[in-house]
Amino acid sequence: MFRYKKQTDKYKNKNYSFFKKKVCYFCVNKLNDADYKDASLLSKFITERCKILPGRASGICAKHQRVLTKVIKKARMMALLPFSVSEKGLSR
Ligand SMILES: [Zn+2]
């Protein structure tokens, strides 16, 4: 009985750590910078309204966040990513 309780406590603790620490995508894949032509990759790091995700949301480290911001802005200039999505575009 005691043992069972201990196990459920452990399980509870696991649930508490639901927000597991995210690792930087670029550090994991050993990429120094993103390719601005790779829109499908960059679209992972923007919101549905095409805003750039903050580093704390995407789990990207500060160094790569700076690089990524520039790359996304470049991709926008090349019309690979939209600057913003209007309210009408979202049909809400
Ligand atoms: Zn990184």
| Cα(13) to centroid(ligand 1), Å | 29
Question: What pLDDT is recorded for position 92?
Answer: 47
| Cα(15) to centroid(ligand 1), Å | 27
pLDDT tens string 33-90? 788 899 899 999 999 888 999 988 889 999 999 999 999 999 999 999 999 888 765 5
In angstroms, the first-to-last Cα distance of the chain is: 53
Q: Which residue has the higher pLDDT, 56 or 14?
A: 56
Q: Please give the structure tokens belonging to residue 65.
A: 């966040």
Show the domains of the chain with their CATH numbers.
20-90 (4.10.640.10)
| Cα(28) to centroid(ligand 1), Å | 7
∠ CA 55-59-65, rounded to 5°: 40
Alpha helices per DSSP H over the chain: 2-16, 25-28, 39-42, 55-58, 62-77, 87-90
Nearest to 42 by CA among 53, 30, 55, 29: 53
CA distance 65 to 46: 12
Residue 63: phi and psi, rounded to 5, are -65, -50
Q: Which residue has the higher pLDDT, 16 or 27?
A: 27
Tell me the residues surrounding ligand 1 (ion) with CB < 5 Å.
24, 26-27, 61, 64
pTM for the predicted model, two decimal places: 0.69
